[in-house]
Amino acid sequence: MAVRPLVSAQDPVLSRKTIRVKRVDAGIRRLVKDMIETMHYAQGVGLAANQIGVPLRIAVIQLPEDEEALVLVNPEVVHREGSRELTEGCLSIPGYSGCTLRSEKVHVKAQGLDGKTFRIKAEGDLMTQALEHETDHLDGHLYVERLVSQDQMWKHDEDEAEGELEGDATEAASSSN
Ligand code: NI
């Protein structure tokens, strides 16, 4: 396993739609392990493969209270409902947060590392936000495209470390993914 470097916000791999995984093989499983390790190292709650320069449709999510990462191969949002405003950050845009417009409910269909298809339904929580944020990454979109308005983005204080946003449930909503 290895921590992989994150690509910069300007890297075109972040603005392109990623490619679906045809078969979950040993190479994919290795990639996922590296993604999880990279997410932990960067103290994010989620990571999409293109954030480490790999243009494949894979994301991992691990909320602060979760013991294991959720692995999403070929995730697709199959249902969205409602809207809400949230504070959001991204490992690919370090040092900034913004106020985004996101869905209240999200249903995602994906495959696990066993290749089997599963569905996850989330409503009104950090998982809901992370599912939209990561599938957005895989579609070539960053959260800055979902801002409530263009002035709703701000730089963190210099003494405020990225990891400090990872605290309790309310603060976790502003952690990076
Ligand atoms: Ni992100």
Phi, psi of 123, rounded to the nearest 5 degrees: -145, 120
**Looking at the domain assignment, is residue 109 inside a domain?**
yes
pTM (2 d.p.): 0.89
Which phi and psi angles does 106 have, rounded to 5°?
-140, 130
CB distance 39 to 52 below 8 Å: no
Q: Which of 65, 76, 88, 134 is catalytic?
A: 134
Distance from the alpha carbon of residue 46 to the mean position of ligand 1, in angstroms: 7
Under-70 pLDDT residues of the chain = 1, 158-175
**Residue 177: its pLDDT value, please?**
73
Cα–ligand 1 centroid distance for 74 (angstroms): 17
Task: Report if residue 1 sits inside a domain.
Answer: no
Does residue 64 form part of some domain? yes
Asked if residue 7 belongs to a domain, the reply is no
- Which residues crowd ion ligand 1, with CB under 5 Å? 90
**Looking at the 3D structure of the chain, how many domains does it have?**
1
Does 56 fall in a domain?
A: yes
Ligand 1 centre to CA of 25 (Å) is 25
- Which domain, by its residues, includes 80? 12-174
Q: Is 165 inside a domain boundary?
A: yes
33, part of any domain = yes
Structural domain contains residue 5 = no
CATH number of the domain where residue 66 is located: 3.90.45.10
The token pair that represents 64 in the structure block: 């602060």
Q: What is the pLDDT of residue 4?
A: 97
Tokens of 71: 């692995």
Could you confirm whether 37 is annotated as catalytic?
A: no
Structure-token pair, residue 56: 């494949």
Strand, helix or coil for residue 117? strand
Inter-residue contact 164 to 120 (CB < 8 Å): no
How confident is the model at residue 168, as a pLDDT?
A: 32
Residue 14 CA, ligand 1 centroid: distance in Å: 10
